[in-house]
Structure 1
Amino acid sequence: MIPVRGFEDQTVAVLGMGRSGLATARALEAGGTHVVVWDDTPQTRERAEAEGFACRDLRDPTAFEDVACLVVSPGIPHLYPQPNAAVAAALEAGVPVDNDIGLFFRSLATDDWDGFDRAPRVVAVTGSNGKSTTSALIDHVLRAAGRECQLAGNIGRGALDIDPPGDGGVVVLELSSYQTELARALTPDVAVFTNLTPDHLDRHAGMGGYFAAKRRLFAEGGPDRAVIGVDEIEGRYMAGQLAEGRADDRVIRVASGCKLTGPGWLVYARKGFLTEWRKGRQVASIDLRDIKGLPGAHNHQNACSAFGALRALGLGPREIETGLRSFEGLPHRSQLVGERGGVRFVNDSKATNVDAALQALRAFPRIRWVCGGLMKDGGLAGLHPALDHVAKAYVIGREPEVFARDLPGTEAVLCGDMATAVAQAAAEAEPGDVVLLAPAAASFDQYDNFEARGADFIAQVRAVLG
C-alpha cells in the first residue's frame, strides 16, 4: 500500500466504493487521514461500513463543511454528460476534486528514496487501444530481465494498493482517459501514448475533449521521455508540441505499417519487423512475425510502444527481444484459446469498439467471426475495409439482426448466444481458419463485462474441443 500524504488529521471524502475506491480509502487512512465514504449502491456502502469506514451522504450540500478533498472513482462522471450529484455538491462548496492517480503521484516518493542508489521510476501508458497489452508487455519484459516491477492502475491492482517500490523499482500504470482527465498530479518518468480512436465521447463531450484528457499526461506531467504513437494526426500533433526540434530524443515517435524518417528517436513496425532508428541510423531490428503472443499489426504497434518505453528505461534491444518472445498475451486480447485440425480459436473480447475489432480482423487472413452485442454509436462502417477477411459471421447479442444488417456482402448467421455461435463456427471451420471472438460491441446486453463474455467464449471452445 502507498499511504496517502498531505491530508494528515484532515477529512477526505471518497466517492465510489469499488476496487479503486476501497484501496483509496485504505491508503488515506494509512496516511493519517479521517475518511468518509459514499456509494449510490446500498450493498456497496454496507461492504465499506463492514471495513470500518463511515458513510456520509455526499449528495447533501452540507456534507462538505469539514472536507478537504473529494476523491472520485474513475467511472463516476464529474463534468460530462453531467456531474454526479456528489461531485456537483463538492464543486458548489469549493472543495477540490481528485482521484487515486493524483493521490498516487503526490504520495509515491518518500524519505527512504534518499538512500536508494537508483530512484524508482514510473511508466504511465494511455491511448484508445492497446494500452493494456503495452503496459503488460513493459511489465513482462522488465520482470524477464530481472528488474523489480509492479503493474497497476486500469489493469491489475489499484495504484495505491501496490507496495512501495524499492531501489531501482519500476511501476507501470495503465491509465484511461477517465483517470488522466481528473488527476491533480501527473508526474511519470516515461509516458506512452499508443493511439487515438473515437471512444467515450459522451463522457468527454466529443473527440476534442477525449484527446485533451489523454494529452494532460504529457502536457501537465512533463515526463523525462514521451513515447508517442504517430499513426494518427493527434499523435503527430502532440509529438510536435513536446519536441524542441526534429532531433529532440526526449520524444520517441512510434508507428505501425509505415517507415519513419528523420534525425530523431524512431521506432516503427513494417512488414512484421520492428526497427529502431536514432540520430539517423538504424540501431536495432526484431522479427515479430513468429511471436505468438503478438499477432497482427495492432500488436506490432503495441510492441513498438513497449520497446520505446523499455529503451527509455535503459534496457538493450536483445534484452527486450528475449522478453517479447516469452510474452503469452493477455486474457481477452488476441488470446489463443486452443487449436484443432489447423483451426485456431482466438479470444479478443476486449475488442469492444469498431477500431479494435478492425485491427483484430486484419490480423488473420480467413476468419469465422463471432461478433455482436450492444452496438455503439456510429455503426460498423469502420469495419468494412476488413470484411474480406471474414468467411462468415456468427452474430450474438439480443438484437443480432441489427448488427448483421450493417455487414454488407458478408455471410452472417443469427446465433444469438455464444454456445450456438461457437459450435456452428467450429463445425464449419476449415484448416487455416481462425474462429475469432472480436465483438465490435459492448457486452452489457448479455454479460456484466467483456471479461465475462470472453470467459463464456473460452468455456464454449473448450466444450467443443473436448
Structure 2
Amino acid sequence: MIPVQGVQNQTIAVLGLGRSGRATAAALTEGGADVVVWDDGADTRASAEAEGLTLRDLTRETAWEGVSALITSPGIPHLYPKPHPAIAMALRLGIPVDNDIGLFFRSFATRDWDSFDITPRVIAVTGSNGKSTTTALIHHILTEVGRPAQMGGNIGTGVLSLDPAQDGEVVVLELSSYQTDLARALTPDVAVFTNLSPDHLDRHHGMGGYFAAKRRLFAEGGPDRAVIGVDEIEGLYLADQLSEGPQDDRVIRVSSETKLDAFGWSVFAKKGFLSEYRKGRQVASIDLRAVTGLPGAHNHQNACAAYAACRAVGIPPREIEAAFHSFQGLPHRSQTVAEIGGVRWVNDSKATNVDSAEKALLAFKNIRWIAGGMGKEGGITSLVPHLGNVVKAYFIGHSARDFALEVGQSVDYEIFATIDEAVARAHAEAQSGETVLLAPAAASFDQFPNFEKRGEHFTALVQALKG
C-alpha cells in the first residue's frame, strides 16, 4: 500500500467502493485522514459499514461539513453526460475533486528515496487500443532484464495498492481516459500514447474531449520522455505540441505504418522489422516476424511503443529483443492457446468491435474465423474488404444470421448456435498451416457474462482437443 501524503487530520470523502475505492479509503486512512465513504449500491454500503468504514450520504449538502476533498472512482461521471449528484454537490461547494491516480502521483515519492542509489521511475501508458498489451510488455521486459518493476492502474493492481518503491524500481501504469481526465497530479517520467480511435464519446462529449483527456497525461506533468504513436492525426499533433522541433529527442515518435528517419529519436516497424533511429541514423533493428506473442501490425505498434519506453529508461536493444521472444501476450488478445496438427488456435475474445476484429484478421493468414455474439451498431459490413485471409467463417450466437447476411457471398460461412459447435466443426475442417481465430466482433452477453469468460471457454475447448 502507498499511504497518501498531505492528508493527516483531514476529512476526505470517497465516492464509489469498488476495487479502487476500497484501496483509496485504506490508503487515505494509512496517511492519517478521517475517511467517509458513499456508494450508490445498498449492498456495497452495507458491506463497507460492516468492514468499519464510515458512511455519509454525499448527495446531501449537510454531509459536506468539514470535508477537505472528494476522491471519486473512475467509472463515475464527473462532467459528461452529467456529473454524479455527489460530484455536482462538491463542485458547487468548491470542494476539490480528485481520483486515486492524482493521489498516487503526489504520494509515490518519499524521503526514503534520499538513500536510494537509483531514483524510482514511473512509465504511464494511455491510448485507445493496445495500452494493456504495451503496459504488460514493458513490465515483462523490465522483469526479464532484472529491473525491479511493478504494474498497475487500469490493469492488474490499483495504484494505491502497489508497494512502496524499491531502489531503482520502475512502476508501469496503464491509464484510461477516465483516470487521466480528472487526476489533479500527473507526473510520469515516461508517458506513452499508443493511438486514438473513437471510444467513450458520451463520457467525454465527443472526440475532442476524449483526446483532451488523453493529452492531459503529457500536458499536465511534462514527462522527461514522451513516446507518441503518430499513425493518426492526434498523435502527430501531440508530438508536434511537445517538441521544439524534429530533432528534439525528448519526443520519441512511433509508427507501424511509416518510416521515421528524420527525427531526433524514432522507432517504427515496416514489413515486420522494428527499427530505432537516432538523429537520422539507424542504431538498432529487430525482426518481429518470429515473435509469436506479438502477431500483426497492431502488435508491432505495441512492440515499438514498449521498446521506446524501455530504451528511455536505459534498457539495451538486445536485451529488449530477447524479452520480446519470451512474451506470451495477454489473455484474450491475439493469444495463441495451442497448436494442434499444424493448426494454430488463437483467442482474441477481446476483439468485441469491428476495429479490433479487423486488426486480428489482418494479423494471420489462412484463417478459419469464429465470430458472433451480441452484434454492435453498424454490424460487420466494414470487415468485408478485409476477409481475404479467411478460408471460412463460423458465425455463432445471437447475431450469427445478421453477420451471415452482411458478409453475403464474400466468404464461405456456416451458422452455429454455440461456440462449442463452431470449435468442433473448425477442428474437423482445419488443415495444417491454417489458423483458427476467435475474433468475435461482438459483445459476449448473449451467452457469457464478459469477453474473459468467453475466451476462457474457447481456450478450454481447444485444450480438450489436445486429448
Q: Does 1:413 align with 2:403?
A: no
Counterparts of 2:377 and 2:61, CA distance in 1 = 35
Match of 1:10 in 2: 10
How far off its partner does 1:433 sit?
1.8
How far off its partner does 1:162 sit?
0.5
Match of 1:250 in 2: 250
Counterparts of 1:403 and 1:58, CA distance in 2 = 46
Counterparts of 1:204 and 1:375, CA distance in 2 = 24
Match of 2:433 in 1: 432
Counterparts of 1:74 and 1:186, CA distance in 2 = 15
Alignment deviations for residues 319-373 of structure 1 (CA, whole Å, 9 cap, x no partner): 1111111111111111111121111111111222322211111010121212223
How far off its partner does 1:92 sit?
2.6
Match of 2:452 in 1: 451
Alignment deviations for residues 236-283 of structure 1 (CA, whole Å, 9 cap, x no partner): 111011110010000000000321131320100111110000011000
Alignment deviations for residues 280-326 of structure 1 (CA, whole Å, 9 cap, x no partner): 10000011111111111111111100000001001111111111111
Alignment deviations for residues 78-117 of structure 1 (CA, whole Å, 9 cap, x no partner): 2222222222222233222111111100111111112212
> Residue 78 of structure 2 contacts residue 87 of structure 2 at CA under 8 Å; is this kept in 1?
yes
RMSD in angstroms over aligned alpha carbons? 1.6
Match of 1:465 in 2: 466
Match of 2:105 in 1: 105
Moved more, 139-148 or 44-53: 44-53
Within 5 Å, which residues of 2 pair with 1:204-283?
204-283=204-283
Q: Does 1:354 align with 2:354?
A: yes
Secondary structure of the residue aligned to 2:77 is: coil
Counterparts of 1:71 and 1:402, CA distance in 2 = 44
Counterparts of 2:402 and 2:89, CA distance in 1 = 41
Match of 1:25 in 2: 25
Counterparts of 2:330 and 2:377, CA distance in 1 = 27
Change (3 A) 1:59 1:401: farther
Change (3 A) 1:393 1:59: farther
> Residue 355 of structure 1 contacts residue 382 of structure 1 at CA under 8 Å; is this kept in 2?
no
Match of 1:140 in 2: 140
> Residue 261 of structure 2 contacts residue 281 of structure 2 at CA under 8 Å; is this kept in 1?
no
Moved more, 84-93 or 312-321: 84-93
Change (3 A) 1:5 1:396: farther
Match of 2:47 in 1: 47
How far off its partner does 1:449 sit?
2.2
Match of 1:58 in 2: 58
Change (3 A) 1:55 1:399: farther
Gaps of at least 5 residues in structure 1 are: none
Match of 1:119 in 2: 119
Counterparts of 1:448 and 1:398, CA distance in 2 = 14
Change (3 A) 1:241 1:384: farther
Gaps of at least 5 residues in structure 2 are: none
Moved more, 150-159 or 429-438: 429-438
Task: Tell me the TM-score normalized by structure 2.
Answer: 0.96
Within 5 Å, which residues of 2 pair with 1:277-356?
277-356=277-356
Counterparts of 2:185 and 2:141, CA distance in 1 = 27
Change (3 A) 1:378 1:187: farther
Alignment deviations for residues 189-228 of structure 1 (CA, whole Å, 9 cap, x no partner): 0000111111111211211111111111111121000000
> Residue 123 of structure 1 contacts residue 189 of structure 1 at CA under 8 Å; is this kept in 2?
yes
How far off its partner does 1:378 sit?
4.3
Moved more, 404-413 or 362-371: 404-413
How far off its partner does 1:465 sit?
3.2
Counterparts of 2:260 and 2:202, CA distance in 1 = 34
Secondary structure of the residue aligned to 1:181 is: helix
Match of 2:194 in 1: 194
Counterparts of 1:413 and 1:128, CA distance in 2 = 32
> Residue 375 of structure 2 contacts residue 399 of structure 2 at CA under 8 Å; is this kept in 1?
no
Counterparts of 2:344 and 2:420, CA distance in 1 = 17
> Residue 227 of structure 1 contacts residue 251 of structure 1 at CA under 8 Å; is this kept in 2?
yes
Q: Does 1:35 align with 2:32?
A: no
Equivalent position amino acid for 1:354 in 2:
V
Counterparts of 2:404 and 2:95, CA distance in 1 = 49
Match of 2:386 in 1: 386
Secondary structure of the residue aligned to 1:406 is: helix
Counterparts of 2:443 and 2:63, CA distance in 1 = 36
Match of 2:92 in 1: 92
How far off its partner does 1:234 sit?
0.8
Secondary structure of the residue aligned to 1:391 is: strand
Counterparts of 2:87 and 2:60, CA distance in 1 = 11
> Residue 343 of structure 1 contacts residue 433 of structure 1 at CA under 8 Å; is this kept in 2?
yes
Moved more, 48-57 or 155-164: 48-57
Change (3 A) 1:405 1:200: farther
Alignment deviations for residues 139-188 of structure 1 (CA, whole Å, 9 cap, x no partner): 11111111000000011100110101111110000011111111111000
Moved more, 37-46 or 429-438: 37-46
Change (3 A) 1:299 1:244: same
Counterparts of 2:376 and 2:176, CA distance in 1 = 18
Secondary structure of the residue aligned to 1:17 is: coil
Match of 1:164 in 2: 164
Counterparts of 2:171 and 2:156, CA distance in 1 = 12
Change (3 A) 1:320 1:188: same
Counterparts of 1:385 and 1:307, CA distance in 2 = 32
Equivalent position amino acid for 2:442 in 1:
A
Moved more, 448-457 or 247-256: 448-457
How far off its partner does 1:134 sit?
0.6
- Pairs aligned (count): 466
Match of 2:173 in 1: 173
Change (3 A) 1:44 1:226: same
Equivalent position amino acid for 2:464 in 1:
A
Counterparts of 2:65 and 2:378, CA distance in 1 = 44
- State, as a whole percentage, how many aligned pairs show the same letter: 67
Counterparts of 2:450 and 2:66, CA distance in 1 = 37
Change (3 A) 1:411 1:88: farther
> Residue 257 of structure 1 contacts residue 271 of structure 1 at CA under 8 Å; is this kept in 2?
no
